[in-house]
Amino acid sequence: MPPLVKKILRNRWFVAGVHAGLWLLLYLAVANLGGKAPNFRDVDAVATPAQSPAPVAGLEGLFSPGIWPKSLIHTNMLNPFLTRYFVPPPPPPPTTRKIEVTYQGFYQNGDGPKTTIFKLDEAFIVAPIGAKIAANLFIADATIQALTLTNLAAQTNIVPLNAKKEIMVPIQ
């Protein structure tokens, strides 16, 4: 800093004047200078609404497909942006299917075997205990309340009386 500016900043009269000026500004800000807020009220606009500077009426015809020239290349040719590299192989065919079994009850004649009555999908079937009802699915037992089905892997399914149950079986 030049010595003249340093001498002015160190002057006591200058510092006292700046100090007094700041106190005056503070007093005027607190005293609100006698002003008041303007009277705001809702009024209907008397001017017409502003017009849009962009002509948007012509934009609809700009993007219609009829105005563009026809392509000179054949449409049956391969697309240069299409690749078969990233296309996944088709999924393998399913190996299982779902069947719906509804147990209807059983009956027994004398000392004969129990014969079950059940609904397999939409068909009513009457079969004895031990009969094959679907691929890899056999009747293991029948009681008053439930039908027990099993497969060759000793997995059992219990079908309650008059209730539909979906069972997964392998496709043959």
Binned at pLDDT 50, 70 and 90, residue 33 comes out as: low
Across the range 54-79, mean pLDDT stands at 68
Query: Within 13 Å of residue 108, how many CA atoms lie on the same side as its CB?
Result: 10
Which long-range CB contacts under 8 A does 29-35 form with residues at least 24 apart? none
Position 77 scores a pLDDT of 64
DSSP state of 24: H
Q: How far is CA 36 from CA 27, 31, 171, in A?
A: 17, 12, 88
Q: How much is the pTM?
A: 0.48
pLDDT in tens, 114-145: 999 999 989 999 999 999 998 889 999 999 99
